[in-house]
Structure formats: C-alpha cells, structure tokens
Amino acid sequence: MSDNTNRNQVCTVWYTAKSKNATKDSRNPIDVSITPGMTVCLDADRHDGGGMFENVTRPATAILNAPKFLVVDVSPSVNESVSSGVRRGGPIKVMAICDKMPGLGLYVDGTTDNIAVGNLLGVVDGQFYLKYKASLDGTCCAVAQEAYTPDTPGYITEATFKSVT
C-alpha cells in the first residue's frame, strides 16, 4: 500500500485479538467484538497469522503512530469467544485510512469532547474508535466532515483522510 493508486484497496490482514507486546506470550486478550468502521493499528511484531499476513490490533500507546487501518469486513468467527475473555481473532478486511470512506461509518467517540466539522480525529490508547484531537500529530488520521455530540461511541459517515496523512 505504498503508492497512492492502491491506498483505497481493501486487503486482508490478521487481527490478533491480543494487546501489543514484542514478547508473544506477554500479550493480553482483547475481549471486544470488532466491527466495520473501527480503527486498528499495524502490529509490526507479526506473532500471528503464520507469517502470511500483516498483523493489526487495537490502538495502544506503543503503536499510536503506526499505520492505521479502517476495518471494512469481519467474519463472525473472528469475534467468537474461545474461552472466558478470549476472542479467536483471524483474517479481516481493512483499507488504509487515507481518502474518503467507501460508504462506511467511522466509529468515533464524543464523550469528552464533542466532534465538530473540521475537527481532527485520531487514535487513543486502548480504543477502537477515533476521538477529537486538538492538534496534528502522528495519532491523527482523519478530519470530521460532520458533527458528533452524543456521549457514547457511535458512527459518522462523513470524514476526509487525505489531508492528514
């Protein structure tokens, strides 16, 4: 996905369903069902997927500046519970966050700060949604093109990515 002609292309990656950690056995399970519109970050350690896929996981402090991807399709088996608090994980379809979304909602949270048109949005530690960002930094990946004011996470359908990547 290094050139602009492929940036809106959907690709398959491996969702680890585990926290980011360089040591494979030191990762913690993430007990959350992921859905289209959520944001994941690249996990360059590639512990899962048999080396055949890039790995992605929930945004975390260590990878907030890593490439970010918009989840576009999730097989139900990925979210299956394999034991108490442990999800299966597996291949999901994503696209690089860079241009206008292809008709998907973008998972955001306006609990702390309402989101207004033109606000920067970025990843935060431990969350799959994007939040308002006061200034441009490596965590930013979108500009809101619609307002969002509820005090719970939800979806907006208008955002632009190209101007912040």
At residue 101, the pLDDT reads 54
Residue 101 is assigned to a structural domain of this protein? no
Do both 119 and 142 map to the same domain? yes
C-beta contacts of 146-150 below 8 A and 24+ residues apart: 146/117, 147/114, 147/115, 147/116, 147/117, 148/108, 148/110, 148/114, 148/115, 149/110, 149/114, 149/115, 150/110
Q: Quick one: 67 exposed, middle or buried, by C-beta within 10 A (0-12, 13-18, 19+)?
A: middle
Choosing from 96, 124, 154, the residue where a domain stops is: 96
Do both 11 and 50 map to the same domain? yes
CA–CA gap between residue 38 and residue 15 (Å, rounded): 12
Do both 49 and 127 map to the same domain? no
What is the span of the domain harbouring residue 72? 4-96
Q: Which two tokens stand for residue 71?
A: 């989840």
**pTM (2 decimals)?**
0.82
Q: Report the domain count for the chain.
A: 2
pLDDT in tens, the chain (165 residues): 334 444 568 899 999 999 988 888 889 999 999 999 899 999 988 888 888 899 999 999 999 988 889 899 999 999 999 999 999 999 999 987 765 555 567 889 988 889 999 999 999 999 999 999 998 888 888 888 889 988 888 888 877 765 554
Do both 138 and 61 map to the same domain? no
Backbone angles phi, psi at 121, to 5 degrees: -125, 145
At residue 4, the pLDDT reads 41
Do both 9 and 82 map to the same domain? yes
